[in-house]
Amino acid sequence: MPYTPQDGFPYYFDLVKEDDFRGLFTSTSTYEFLNSIDEEKASYRYEPNKWSIKQVLGHITDHERIKMFRAFQLSRNDQIELWGYDQELLVNNARFEELTMEQLLTDFASVRRASQSFVSTLSVEQLAIVGNARQYEITLEDFLKSIIGHERHHINVLKQKYF
């Protein structure tokens, strides 16, 4: 049975088949796609209660920021639960709609540079550290891949439902 976004990690991991996970963090395709969206279109919602494109971008950035901190903890053998978070709460309490696409893209690029810096420091041994994400045991490397899988999910939704 195929996974759904509600399954979390396995669904996002399935969206990333590349072996070179460091290359996933250096790809500019998401930035280039989002940078092509004009300010007027950025506030578009395909249904009244769905997020705007700005909110999706802000959510992608928040997700990476949160998950990278957890990846950092795991890389130091802090055996934390790689827990989820309330995405609606975070989006609803952010200012994404007040910010310009340029501001949101600058934040995304800054978070990505920090992620690239962190990922470049990890050893083979660190990448093999196992943590728990709900009922799944996953390596740090797979956890990192799932961050990009989450991003791909949202970019796919934008392409399918917003354009």
The model's pLDDT over 127-155, given as tens digits with 9 standing for 90+, comes to 999 998 877 889 999 999 999 999 999 99
The overall average pLDDT reported for the chain is 92
Whether residue 158 contacts residue 29, with contact meaning beta carbons closer than 8 Å, is answered with no
- Cα–Cα dist 34/27, whole Å: 13
Three-class secondary structure of residue 18 per DSSP: coil
At residue 1, does pLDDT exceed 60? no
- Counting Cα atoms < 13 Å in the Cβ hemisphere of 11 gives 13
Amino acid, res. 151: E
At residue 98, does pLDDT exceed 90? yes
- Boundaries of every domain in the chain: 5-162
Report percent pLDDT > 70 for the chain.
99
At residue 85, does pLDDT exceed 50? yes
**7-11, 48-52, 81-85: least confident range:** 7-11
**2-11, 79-88, 103-112: least confident range:** 2-11
What's the rounded mean pLDDT across residues 71-96? 91
What's the rounded mean pLDDT across residues 40-47? 96
Residue ranges of alpha helices (H) inside 20-52 are: 21-26, 29-35, 39-42
What's the rounded mean pLDDT across residues 95-101? 98
Three-class secondary structure of residue 98 per DSSP: helix
At residue 54, does pLDDT exceed 50? yes
At residue 126, does pLDDT exceed 70? yes
**Annotation: CATH topology of 5-162:** Four Helix Bundle (Hemerythrin (Met), subunit A) (1.20.120)
Q: Residues near 77 by Cβ (< 8 Å), separated by ≥ 6?
A: 129
- Cα–Cα dist 100/159, whole Å: 20
- pLDDT attached to residue 21: 79
Of the candidates 46, 37, 30, which has an alpha carbon nearest to the alpha carbon of residue 101? 37
